Chain A
Amino acid sequence: MYSYRWYAYVLIAVNLILEPFISKWFSIGVAYPDMLLILMLMLSMGRKDNQILIVSAATGFVYDMLYSRFLGPMTVLFFLRGLVTIVIGRRFKQENVLMLTLAGFAMALVSRVYTIILSVGFKDFFRAFGMFIADIGFSALYTALIIAVVTTIMFLIYNSYGRRSKRLLYGQNNRDT
């Protein structure tokens, strides 16, 4: 349980349970953050491997079981998110805060569009696009801001306490030394 990933798993589980309350507790106007995306990106700061994919897909599947009309859509979305996270992690340095923030913004934007289309359908989505765009834009911005803050804090922790902090954060030694 020293591994940071475990905390992320617990947070994801808690977040799945609290999902109906998040929009109420953390909303600013019409915007509310995509907490699962934030947690997934936090997780990606650790080891970059296929485990992220499995965790993402499993989270999506549980999400589907809890909240979706049918099983599958969020599993696919979360799986794709995991995939993108891995790709970004492989292409950039793992603590690239700016890149994670930008990726977070893009993914939040696409995810919100995807979930709205799932809820209202293509036709209504484009018909009432003006109505949805504020919600989509501000929510993505809000999510990106939180990602920037969280990843910056984690980056500072990572670089403050030497090897032990890395072990606590990532659950392993000498991974990046």
Chain B
Amino acid sequence: MKLLKNKKFRIILIVAVFVIVAILSINRFSGVNIIRNIVTIPVSWIQKGIYNIDQYFTEKRFTRKQYQELLEENKQLRAENEHLREENAAMSFLEDKNRLLRQALALKDIFEGYDIIGSNIMGSDPGNFVYRYKIDIGTRDRVKPDMPVVAANNALYGRVYSATYTTSVIVPIIDENAGISGWISKENGGHVNIKGDIRYKERGLCLIENVSDNVELVVGDVVETSGLGGIYPKGILVGVITEIFYDEITNERFGVLQPYVDFNSISTVFVMMEKTE
């Protein structure tokens, strides 16, 4: 007891106990390690609580950060998407152009006696009952009135109405001034007259008239140019019959023709020039 009151002895004793405990604790299975529980149990409870709070705020911060990142990413993707869309539009424009040129090339094969010259439609004049389309080639390019004009898919568009040095005006087949000699494109077909009609041209349709009695007219028949009349060569597709009706007063059959050309969307046409040689 006297020794315990000695300060130096107490220090030595504490250090000795500590050293023994430390050495024993090196063995993980030593019972000395139980004394850790005095501290670890209460502290672990507190730490668990702090951990949960920390996780809560971390998640909250992470969610906000993630949201910001998503917004940023979305912005980038939008810009990228816009860029790709522009590229895609340019590509599809080129693709369309390419397709048109390929079809034009095919036209040259079909109509060997003709030079096929492409042109762009500069504008239309769908004024009161008058349809005229202006193209960007004229007499400079040897364009003359009454030359046939076709679309790339070998579908008849109309004819040249007038030509200046650099431009020409086209009368489409739906115009009432247009008259075409047609042929029902089937075995034992027959001649018909195709005309623009004021009642149908607003809908982009033509009228078939002067159908002789021996011509069998059926909805769905394809009509092409007959080659008669001197303007249009034979074999240009005109359209398909969508309706047939009978006029009891004049005792005549009529048909409604849906042209193969969509006059509202087409932008490139081809003028057919007969080779002179």
Determine if A71 and B47 form an interchain contact, defined as CB atoms under 8 angstroms apart.
no
Determine if B43 and A71 form an interchain contact, defined as CB atoms under 8 angstroms apart.
no
Determine if A72 and B18 form an interchain contact, defined as CB atoms under 8 angstroms apart.
yes
Q: B37: nearest residue on chain A (CB-CB)?
A: A65
Q: Is A17 an interface residue (CB 8 A)?
A: yes
CA of A62 to CA of B36 in the docked complex: distance in angstroms? Answer: 8
Residues of A contacting B19 in the complex (Cβ-Cβ under 8 angstroms): 72
Q: Which of A17, A18, A65, A70 makes the CB contact (< 8 A) with B38?
A: A65
Determine if B18 and A75 form an interchain contact, defined as CB atoms under 8 angstroms apart.
yes
Q: Nearest chain B CB to A36's CB is how many angstroms away? A: 15
Determine if B54 and A21 form an interchain contact, defined as CB atoms under 8 angstroms apart.
yes
Find residues 1-40 in chain A having any chain B CB closer than 8 Å to their own CB.
Answer: 16-18, 20-21, 24
Determine if B22 and A70 form an interchain contact, defined as CB atoms under 8 angstroms apart.
yes
Interface string of A90-116 (1 = CB under 8 A from B): 000000000000000000000000000
Determine if A72 and B47 form an interchain contact, defined as CB atoms under 8 angstroms apart.
no
CA of A110 to CA of B53 in the docked complex: distance in angstroms? Answer: 33
Q: Which of B21, B28, B33, B50 makes the CB contact (< 8 A) with A17?
A: B50
CA of A66 to CA of B35 in the docked complex: distance in angstroms? Answer: 11
Determine if A17 and B46 form an interchain contact, defined as CB atoms under 8 angstroms apart.
yes
CA of A71 to CA of B32 in the docked complex: distance in angstroms? Answer: 10
Evaluate whether A65 and B40 lie within 8 angstroms (CB atoms) in the complex, with A17-B47, A17-B50, A21-B50 already known: yes
Considering only CB atoms and an 8 Å cut-off, how many residues of chain B contact the other chain?
21
Evaluate whether A20 and B40 lie within 8 angstroms (CB atoms) in the complex, with A71-B21, A72-B25 already known: no
Total A-B contacts with CB atoms under 8 angstroms apart:
40
CA of A67 to CA of B32 in the docked complex: distance in angstroms? Answer: 15
Residues of B contacting A16 in the complex (Cβ-Cβ under 8 angstroms): 43
Interface of A is mostly: helix
CA of A24 to CA of B36 in the docked complex: distance in angstroms? Answer: 25
CA of A62 to CA of B50 in the docked complex: distance in angstroms? Answer: 19
Determine if A65 and B36 form an interchain contact, defined as CB atoms under 8 angstroms apart.
yes
Determine if B39 and A62 form an interchain contact, defined as CB atoms under 8 angstroms apart.
yes
Determine if A75 and B22 form an interchain contact, defined as CB atoms under 8 angstroms apart.
yes
Q: B27: nearest residue on chain A (CB-CB)?
A: A70
Q: Is B26 an interface residue (CB 8 A)?
A: yes
CA of A20 to CA of B51 in the docked complex: distance in angstroms? Answer: 9
CA of A86 to CA of B35 in the docked complex: distance in angstroms? Answer: 30
Interface string of B54-68 (1 = CB under 8 A from A): 100000000000000
Q: Nearest chain B CB to A121's CB is how many angstroms away? A: 15
Q: Nearest chain B CB to A10's CB is how many angstroms away? A: 14
Residues of B contacting A71 in the complex (Cβ-Cβ under 8 angstroms): 21-22, 25, 32-33, 36
Residues of B contacting A17 in the complex (Cβ-Cβ under 8 angstroms): 43, 46-47, 50
Evaluate whether A70 and B43 lie within 8 angstroms (CB atoms) in the complex, with A21-B54, A65-B36 already known: no
